[in-house]
Structure 1
Amino acid sequence: MTNPHHRPYGPPTHLPVPMPVVEVDPFTGAPLSDKSKVIAGLLQMLPGFLMGLGGIGRLYAGHTMVGVLQLAATVVGWISFWCGFLLIFPFFIYGAMWMWFVIDGIILMAGRPTDAHGRLLRS
Protein backbone atom coordinates (compact mmCIF):
# COMPACT_ATOMS: atom_id res chain seq x y z
CA MET A 1 0.00 0.00 0.00
CA THR A 2 1.25 3.54 -0.73
CA ASN A 3 1.62 6.31 1.76
CA PRO A 4 -0.91 9.14 1.03
CA HIS A 5 1.52 11.77 2.35
CA HIS A 6 4.39 10.67 0.14
CA ARG A 7 5.02 12.97 -2.86
CA PRO A 8 7.62 11.45 -5.18
CA TYR A 9 7.73 14.40 -7.59
CA GLY A 10 9.17 17.26 -5.51
CA PRO A 11 7.91 20.02 -3.25
CA PRO A 12 4.30 21.12 -3.24
CA THR A 13 3.33 23.68 -5.84
CA HIS A 14 1.51 26.00 -3.45
CA LEU A 15 4.78 27.49 -2.12
CA PRO A 16 5.41 31.09 -3.21
CA VAL A 17 7.90 31.56 -6.04
CA PRO A 18 10.52 34.24 -5.27
CA MET A 19 10.30 37.12 -7.71
CA PRO A 20 13.52 38.69 -9.04
CA VAL A 21 14.33 42.11 -7.65
CA VAL A 22 14.18 44.71 -10.40
CA GLU A 23 15.88 48.00 -9.66
CA VAL A 24 14.46 51.14 -11.19
CA ASP A 25 15.87 54.50 -12.17
CA PRO A 26 15.10 56.95 -9.35
CA PHE A 27 14.27 59.79 -11.77
CA THR A 28 12.08 58.04 -14.34
CA GLY A 29 11.02 54.83 -12.61
CA ALA A 30 12.18 52.83 -15.65
CA PRO A 31 13.75 49.43 -14.92
CA LEU A 32 17.54 49.27 -14.90
CA SER A 33 19.63 46.75 -16.80
CA ASP A 34 21.98 44.36 -15.06
CA LYS A 35 24.82 45.75 -17.21
CA SER A 36 26.95 48.80 -16.44
CA LYS A 37 27.32 51.78 -18.76
CA VAL A 38 30.87 52.42 -17.48
CA ILE A 39 31.96 48.89 -18.42
CA ALA A 40 30.19 49.14 -21.79
CA GLY A 41 31.86 52.49 -22.47
CA LEU A 42 35.31 51.27 -21.49
CA LEU A 43 34.91 48.08 -23.53
CA GLN A 44 33.97 50.26 -26.49
CA MET A 45 36.49 53.05 -26.04
CA LEU A 46 39.73 51.44 -24.86
CA PRO A 47 40.11 48.74 -27.56
CA GLY A 48 38.91 51.30 -30.10
CA PHE A 49 41.43 53.88 -28.94
CA LEU A 50 44.38 51.52 -28.56
CA MET A 51 43.89 49.03 -31.42
CA GLY A 52 41.13 50.36 -33.64
CA LEU A 53 38.92 47.48 -32.47
CA GLY A 54 35.26 48.38 -32.12
CA GLY A 55 32.01 46.71 -31.19
CA ILE A 56 32.95 45.00 -27.92
CA GLY A 57 31.04 47.47 -25.75
CA ARG A 58 27.98 47.27 -27.98
CA LEU A 59 28.05 43.47 -27.86
CA TYR A 60 28.31 43.65 -24.05
CA ALA A 61 25.26 45.93 -23.92
CA GLY A 62 23.29 43.52 -26.11
CA HIS A 63 23.24 45.55 -29.33
CA THR A 64 24.44 42.70 -31.52
CA MET A 65 23.65 44.29 -34.89
CA VAL A 66 25.69 47.43 -34.16
CA GLY A 67 28.43 45.37 -32.50
CA VAL A 68 28.81 43.04 -35.49
CA LEU A 69 28.71 46.04 -37.85
CA GLN A 70 31.50 47.70 -35.88
CA LEU A 71 33.55 44.49 -35.88
CA ALA A 72 33.15 44.31 -39.66
CA ALA A 73 34.17 47.97 -39.87
CA THR A 74 37.24 47.08 -37.80
CA VAL A 75 38.31 44.57 -40.44
CA VAL A 76 37.73 47.12 -43.21
CA GLY A 77 39.68 49.73 -41.23
CA TRP A 78 42.61 47.41 -40.63
CA ILE A 79 42.74 46.36 -44.28
CA SER A 80 42.60 49.98 -45.41
CA PHE A 81 45.34 50.89 -42.91
CA TRP A 82 47.75 48.23 -44.16
CA CYS A 83 46.93 48.93 -47.80
CA GLY A 84 47.24 52.66 -47.11
CA PHE A 85 51.00 52.62 -47.47
CA LEU A 86 50.49 52.89 -51.23
CA LEU A 87 47.55 55.30 -51.21
CA ILE A 88 46.65 58.25 -48.98
CA PHE A 89 42.84 57.84 -48.97
CA PRO A 90 42.58 54.53 -47.02
CA PHE A 91 44.21 56.14 -43.98
CA PHE A 92 41.11 58.36 -43.74
CA ILE A 93 38.91 55.24 -43.62
CA TYR A 94 40.91 53.87 -40.69
CA GLY A 95 40.80 57.25 -38.94
CA ALA A 96 37.04 57.52 -39.41
CA MET A 97 36.54 54.03 -37.93
CA TRP A 98 38.82 54.91 -35.00
CA MET A 99 36.84 58.09 -34.30
CA TRP A 100 33.51 56.21 -34.51
CA PHE A 101 34.61 53.69 -31.87
CA VAL A 102 36.06 56.24 -29.47
CA ILE A 103 33.12 58.66 -29.75
CA ASP A 104 30.66 55.77 -29.35
CA GLY A 105 32.46 54.75 -26.15
CA ILE A 106 32.21 58.30 -24.81
CA ILE A 107 28.51 58.38 -25.65
CA LEU A 108 27.98 55.06 -23.85
CA MET A 109 29.69 56.41 -20.73
CA ALA A 110 28.24 59.93 -20.70
CA GLY A 111 24.77 59.41 -22.14
CA ARG A 112 21.74 57.39 -21.07
CA PRO A 113 22.31 54.20 -23.09
CA THR A 114 19.97 51.24 -23.03
CA ASP A 115 20.50 47.51 -23.37
CA ALA A 116 18.89 45.30 -26.01
CA HIS A 117 15.64 45.18 -23.99
CA GLY A 118 15.34 48.96 -23.73
CA ARG A 119 16.37 49.13 -20.06
CA LEU A 120 18.79 51.84 -18.97
CA LEU A 121 22.32 50.70 -18.26
CA ARG A 122 23.19 51.27 -14.62
CA SER A 123 25.78 53.86 -13.62
Structure 2
Amino acid sequence: MTETPDPAPDGWSATPPYGAPSYDPSQYGTPQYGQQAYPGQSLPPQGYPTTPYAQQPPAPGYGQAGYSVPGFAGIADPWAPYGRDPATGTPLSDKSKTSAGLLQLFLGGFGAGRFYLGHNGIAIAQLITLILGWVTVFFVVGVLILLALGIWTLVDAIMMFSGGVRDSRGQVLRP
Protein backbone atom coordinates (compact mmCIF):
# COMPACT_ATOMS: atom_id res chain seq x y z
CA MET A 1 0.00 0.00 0.00
CA THR A 2 1.44 3.34 -1.02
CA GLU A 3 0.81 6.44 0.98
CA THR A 4 -0.02 9.63 -0.91
CA PRO A 5 1.58 12.84 0.33
CA ASP A 6 -0.69 15.28 2.15
CA PRO A 7 -1.37 18.37 -0.03
CA ALA A 8 -1.67 20.68 3.00
CA PRO A 9 1.81 21.89 4.06
CA ASP A 10 1.00 22.36 7.74
CA GLY A 11 -0.09 18.77 8.39
CA TRP A 12 -3.86 19.27 8.07
CA SER A 13 -5.61 16.75 5.92
CA ALA A 14 -7.45 17.99 2.84
CA THR A 15 -10.01 15.20 3.15
CA PRO A 16 -12.30 14.96 6.17
CA PRO A 17 -11.67 12.04 8.52
CA TYR A 18 -13.94 9.04 8.58
CA GLY A 19 -17.44 9.94 9.83
CA ALA A 20 -16.97 13.72 9.55
CA PRO A 21 -19.65 15.58 7.60
CA SER A 22 -18.61 16.78 4.20
CA TYR A 23 -20.10 19.55 2.15
CA ASP A 24 -21.28 18.81 -1.35
CA PRO A 25 -22.00 22.06 -3.30
CA SER A 26 -23.82 20.18 -6.05
CA GLN A 27 -26.37 18.91 -3.54
CA TYR A 28 -27.11 22.13 -1.57
CA GLY A 29 -26.06 25.04 -3.80
CA THR A 30 -23.22 27.49 -3.38
CA PRO A 31 -23.12 29.41 -0.08
CA GLN A 32 -22.93 33.21 -0.33
CA TYR A 33 -21.53 35.86 1.98
CA GLY A 34 -20.30 33.42 4.60
CA GLN A 35 -23.56 31.47 4.80
CA GLN A 36 -23.56 27.74 5.28
CA ALA A 37 -25.98 25.55 3.42
CA TYR A 38 -27.71 22.86 5.41
CA PRO A 39 -29.83 19.97 4.14
CA GLY A 40 -33.30 21.26 3.27
CA GLN A 41 -32.23 24.93 3.29
CA SER A 42 -32.43 26.99 0.15
CA LEU A 43 -30.04 29.87 -0.27
CA PRO A 44 -31.03 33.20 -1.83
CA PRO A 45 -30.06 33.90 -5.44
CA GLN A 46 -27.09 36.06 -6.43
CA GLY A 47 -26.91 39.45 -4.75
CA TYR A 48 -27.57 40.49 -1.19
CA PRO A 49 -29.69 38.22 0.95
CA THR A 50 -33.24 39.46 1.34
CA THR A 51 -34.90 39.80 4.73
CA PRO A 52 -38.59 39.95 5.52
CA TYR A 53 -37.97 43.08 7.62
CA ALA A 54 -37.36 45.30 4.59
CA GLN A 55 -41.07 45.43 3.75
CA GLN A 56 -42.34 46.39 7.22
CA PRO A 57 -43.41 50.02 7.74
CA PRO A 58 -41.65 52.00 10.49
CA ALA A 59 -43.23 52.14 13.93
CA PRO A 60 -45.83 54.90 14.29
CA GLY A 61 -44.33 58.08 15.71
CA TYR A 62 -40.77 56.83 15.37
CA GLY A 63 -38.46 59.32 13.67
CA GLN A 64 -40.93 62.18 13.97
CA ALA A 65 -40.77 65.21 16.22
CA GLY A 66 -41.90 64.56 19.76
CA TYR A 67 -39.21 62.08 20.81
CA SER A 68 -41.55 59.12 21.20
CA VAL A 69 -39.97 55.85 22.24
CA PRO A 70 -40.81 52.70 20.28
CA GLY A 71 -42.65 50.19 22.42
CA PHE A 72 -44.13 52.82 24.74
CA ALA A 73 -47.16 53.92 22.73
CA GLY A 74 -49.14 56.59 24.57
CA ILE A 75 -46.71 56.65 27.51
CA ALA A 76 -44.25 59.44 28.21
CA ASP A 77 -40.55 58.82 27.65
CA PRO A 78 -39.43 56.72 30.65
CA TRP A 79 -35.86 58.05 30.40
CA ALA A 80 -37.03 61.68 30.42
CA PRO A 81 -40.08 61.99 32.69
CA TYR A 82 -39.88 65.81 32.66
CA GLY A 83 -39.42 66.07 28.89
CA ARG A 84 -36.41 66.70 26.69
CA ASP A 85 -34.49 69.83 25.83
CA PRO A 86 -35.63 70.91 22.33
CA ALA A 87 -32.16 72.12 21.36
CA THR A 88 -30.08 69.10 22.40
CA GLY A 89 -32.59 66.31 23.07
CA THR A 90 -31.11 65.61 26.51
CA PRO A 91 -33.50 64.83 29.39
CA LEU A 92 -34.67 67.80 31.46
CA SER A 93 -34.05 68.00 35.19
CA ASP A 94 -36.73 67.80 37.84
CA LYS A 95 -35.49 71.21 39.05
CA SER A 96 -36.85 74.50 37.67
CA LYS A 97 -34.55 77.33 36.60
CA THR A 98 -37.17 79.86 37.79
CA SER A 99 -37.20 78.38 41.30
CA ALA A 100 -33.41 78.14 41.40
CA GLY A 101 -33.00 81.71 40.16
CA LEU A 102 -35.48 83.15 42.67
CA LEU A 103 -33.91 81.24 45.55
CA GLN A 104 -30.46 82.44 44.52
CA LEU A 105 -31.64 86.02 44.01
CA PHE A 106 -33.32 86.42 47.41
CA LEU A 107 -31.44 83.88 49.58
CA GLY A 108 -28.19 83.58 47.63
CA GLY A 109 -26.01 84.51 50.58
CA PHE A 110 -27.21 81.33 52.27
CA GLY A 111 -26.56 79.35 49.07
CA ALA A 112 -30.25 78.40 48.77
CA GLY A 113 -30.29 78.24 44.96
CA ARG A 114 -27.17 76.10 44.87
CA PHE A 115 -28.46 73.78 47.62
CA TYR A 116 -31.68 73.42 45.58
CA LEU A 117 -29.69 72.34 42.50
CA GLY A 118 -27.48 69.96 44.49
CA HIS A 119 -24.24 71.95 44.16
CA ASN A 120 -23.47 71.65 47.86
CA GLY A 121 -19.81 72.69 47.65
CA ILE A 122 -20.61 76.06 46.07
CA ALA A 123 -23.54 76.55 48.46
CA ILE A 124 -21.34 75.93 51.49
CA ALA A 125 -18.74 78.35 50.09
CA GLN A 126 -21.42 81.03 49.76
CA LEU A 127 -22.66 80.36 53.30
CA ILE A 128 -19.14 80.54 54.75
CA THR A 129 -18.51 83.77 52.83
CA LEU A 130 -21.71 85.24 54.32
CA ILE A 131 -20.70 84.25 57.86
CA LEU A 132 -17.15 85.54 57.33
CA GLY A 133 -18.53 88.82 55.99
CA TRP A 134 -20.85 89.35 58.96
CA VAL A 135 -18.12 88.45 61.46
CA THR A 136 -15.74 91.00 59.93
CA VAL A 137 -18.36 93.67 59.15
CA PHE A 138 -16.91 95.93 61.85
CA PHE A 139 -13.76 96.11 59.79
CA VAL A 140 -13.72 97.48 56.26
CA VAL A 141 -12.86 94.07 54.88
CA GLY A 142 -16.26 92.64 55.97
CA VAL A 143 -18.16 95.18 53.89
CA LEU A 144 -16.04 94.29 50.86
CA ILE A 145 -16.67 90.58 51.42
CA LEU A 146 -20.44 91.13 51.62
CA LEU A 147 -20.35 93.32 48.49
CA ALA A 148 -18.44 90.63 46.61
CA LEU A 149 -20.92 88.00 47.84
CA GLY A 150 -23.83 90.16 46.63
CA ILE A 151 -22.29 90.44 43.15
CA TRP A 152 -21.56 86.70 43.12
CA THR A 153 -25.14 85.77 44.01
CA LEU A 154 -26.62 88.26 41.51
CA VAL A 155 -24.50 86.88 38.66
CA ASP A 156 -25.31 83.35 39.80
CA ALA A 157 -29.06 84.11 39.79
CA ILE A 158 -28.86 85.62 36.28
CA MET A 159 -27.02 82.53 35.05
CA MET A 160 -29.73 80.31 36.57
CA PHE A 161 -32.53 82.34 34.98
CA SER A 162 -30.83 82.22 31.57
CA GLY A 163 -30.24 78.45 31.74
CA GLY A 164 -26.46 78.60 31.97
CA VAL A 165 -26.38 76.37 35.07
CA ARG A 166 -27.27 72.66 35.17
CA ASP A 167 -28.27 70.56 38.15
CA SER A 168 -25.86 68.30 40.04
CA ARG A 169 -26.55 65.40 37.62
CA GLY A 170 -25.66 67.58 34.62
CA GLN A 171 -29.22 67.84 33.31
CA VAL A 172 -30.69 71.00 31.80
CA LEU A 173 -33.07 72.87 34.11
CA ARG A 174 -36.78 73.02 33.24
CA PRO A 175 -38.24 76.43 32.29
C-alpha displacement at 1:21, in angstroms?
Answer: 5.7
Work out whether 1:111 is the aligned partner of 2:166.
no
User: Distance between the aligned counterparts of 1:80 and 1:104, measured in 2?
Assistant: 24
**Rg larger in structure:** 2
* Aligned counterpart, 1:78: 134
Q: Percent identity?
A: 39
Q: Deviations over 1:65-109 (max 9, x none)?
A: 11111111111121122x23xxx3331122111111121111111
* SS of 1:35 mapped into structure 2: strand
- Once the two structures are superposed, residues 8-67 of structure 1 have per-residue CA deviations (whole angstroms, 9 ceiling, x without a partner) of xxxxxxxxxx9846111011101100000110011011124xxxx231000101111111
C-alpha separation between the residues in 2 aligned to 1:73 and 1:59?
15
Determine which structure has greater relative contact order: mean sequence separation of CA pairs < 8 Å that are 6+ residues apart, divided by chain length.
1
Q: Which has the higher helix share?
A: 1
In the alignment, the residues of structure 2 paired with residue 100 and residue 43 of structure 1 have an alpha-carbon distance, to the nearest angstrom, of: 14
* Contact residue 129 and residue 145 of structure 2 kept, 8 A: no
Secondary structure of the 2:155 match is helix
Structure 1: where are the runs of 5+ without partners?
Answer: 1-17
Moved over 2 A (4+): 18-21
Q: What RMSD in Å do the two structures reach over aligned CA positions?
A: 1.9
Match of 2:97 among 28, 31, 37: 37
Instruction: Give the 5 Å matches for 1:1-123.
Output: 20=78, 22=80, 23-48=83-108, 53-81=109-137, 83-84=138-139, 88-123=140-175
Give the residue type in structure 1 aligned to 2:104.
Q
1:3 aligns with none
Amino acid in the other structure paired with 1:99: I
Per the alignment, in what secondary structure is the counterpart of residue 144 of structure 2? helix
